Amino acid sequence: MLLDPTSEAESTNRALTARKPSLDGLTIGLLDINKPRGDVFLDRLEQQLGRRGATVLRFAKPTFTKPAPADLRHEIATQCDAVIEALAD
Amino acid sequence: MTVDPGRIDALRARYDGWGLASRRVEVGSLEDEAEAMFDRGWTDGLPIVAPTEARVARMLDGTTRSPGDIVALMPPALVECTVEKVAVNAVMAGCRPEYLPVVLAALEAICTDEFNMHGVLATTMGVGPVFVVNGPIAQRIGMNAGINVLGHGNRANLTIGRAVQLVVRNVGGGRPGEIDRATHGSPAKLSFCFAEDEATSPWTTLAEDRGFARSTDVVTAFCGEAPRIVVDQRSRTADSLVRSLADGLRSAVSSRVVAGMDAMLVVSPEHLSRFSDAGWDRARFMEELGAHLMVDTDTIVIGAGGIEEGLPEAMAGLTLPKFRPGGLLVVHAGGPAGLFSSIVGGWLNGPMGSEPTSREITP
């Protein structure tokens, strides 16, 4: 008889949010994780999203080496309809 | 831990049910136990010792802490990790019970915001936690600080580092190819743990340098890559050797990086004798080494030497230290013969990455 070395935790499965039919009138968050040149990619996305009628809000993690702080995640969740994260380099 | 349980264990099994909370996993009578553990994804690629109730119960005798005590929130899944789960993984790694307090302190050190084990695990860079043990416990449990100190052959060194990694893998869920995204990884990610040679050192220890008393048992975690050697077999003076070591350290991680990444220097006894013979203590050595580690930024800005990696051009014309204050950890260890030292390059340092973190080892 062996003892289980894992956490024995069960992960929760959550349903995906329904896909938005259009970008018109949506608020899209762009999250920069703070890697070099991530801003180049996100600047381009901001232009493209703006042209399609979306409002864009920019966010940044303090450092790419740590998970996004809870406050930042809360801010994005309460202000945006969707978020795009740029991993770069 | 690899012998059959004795009479006392049989009594414990009968009368207190071992007092263990972990789920029991029954291996089928036609299954090979070692293969069954590989199949369940519990190992790091090497065989493990089967975590039976008797072995885990004996492992827990190595600490005064209760099996249900929470040691840390284990990244990357950030789940509560109990002393018992650490003991299960320590058995699997091949630890003896007297190593368990070191494993527990090492886990407490890395599961902090400062050390940032989540990032250390997830990064594409081939780094992992490197542990240096100071204090009387190192000798007491038979750790190696001498010949082959960073290599093979010593059970305590190898299994303590391995146990920590198995906990991160099995409890935290940090498996390579999943959250662990290292491009090359490093053999050191299996286990990288050693003791400082305090007995023959004329210098203060790493732990003393970090504010602990010499009599205190301490483990220091440093986020580092695999070690590499600096050969200097000709320097007869402290002045020559310190320049030579600085020359090697300048290219730690990349010669284009200054101040953003730390390093550890493992000085061998023969190399250290050059400095102690000249009357240099640790402080004098650090001062002299620092003076030879000033970098002319003109040579490492973007484009210098035809290389596109480097500092922004606006930083040209400066002289900067290769390492931030406190960013070079010096340890005395290695066999008595050999004019070599070893460099362990670091990773992004400070609040942006990982901070070297020390914890007292308690029973």
Tens digit of pLDDT per residue, chain A (89 long)? Answer: 999 999 998 888 889 888 888 899 999 999 999 888 899 999 999 999 999 999 999 999 999 999 999 999 999 999 999 999 987 77
| Token pair recorded at residue B5 | 């349980």
Contact between A5 and B24 using a beta-carbon 8 Å cutoff: no
Domain that residue B31 falls in: 18-360
Asked if residue B6 belongs to a domain, the reply is: no
How far the first Cα of chain B sits from its last, in Å, is 19
**Can you tell me which residue has the tokens 């220890």?**
B205
Q: Which residue of B has its CA nearest to A66?
A: B119
- Each domain of chain A, given as residue ranges in start order, spans 27-86
CB B125 within 8 A of CB B225: yes
> What does pLDDT average to over chain B?
95
pLDDT-based confidence at residue B307 (cuts at 50, 70, 90): very high
Give the separation between CA B209 and CA A53, rounded to whole angstroms.
59
Task: Tally the domains of chain B.
Answer: 1
pLDDT-based confidence at residue B15 (cuts at 50, 70, 90): confident
Asked if residue B1 belongs to a domain, the reply is: no
Q: What is the rounded radius of gyration, in angstroms, for the C-alpha atoms of chain A?
A: 17
Asked if residue B167 belongs to a domain, the reply is: yes
Q: How many CB pairs under 8 A join A and B?
A: 76
What pLDDT does B8 receive? 73
pLDDT-based confidence at residue B4 (cuts at 50, 70, 90): low
Asked if residue B84 belongs to a domain, the reply is: yes
ipTM for the whole complex = 0.91
Average pLDDT over residues B5-17: 70
Asked if residue B4 belongs to a domain, the reply is: no
**Cis ω for the linkage preceding B76 (within 30 of 0):** yes
CB B295 within 8 A of CB B249: no
Quote the Cα angle for A77-A79-A85, to 5°: 60
Contact between B26 and A1 using a beta-carbon 8 Å cutoff: yes
Mutate to test the interface with A, among B1, B25, B59, B70 (most CBs of A within 10 A): B25
Contact between A6 and B26 using a beta-carbon 8 Å cutoff: no
Average pLDDT over residues B79-103: 98
Asked whether the predicted pLDDT for residue B3 surpasses 80, the reply is no
What pLDDT does B278 receive? 98
Give the separation between CA B341 and CA B337, rounded to whole angstroms.
11
In this structure, the strands spanning A2-3 and B24-25 are antiparallel
Per-residue exposure over B228-259, b if at least 16 CB sit within 10 Å of its own CB, e if not: eebebeebeebeebbbbbbebbbebbebbbbb
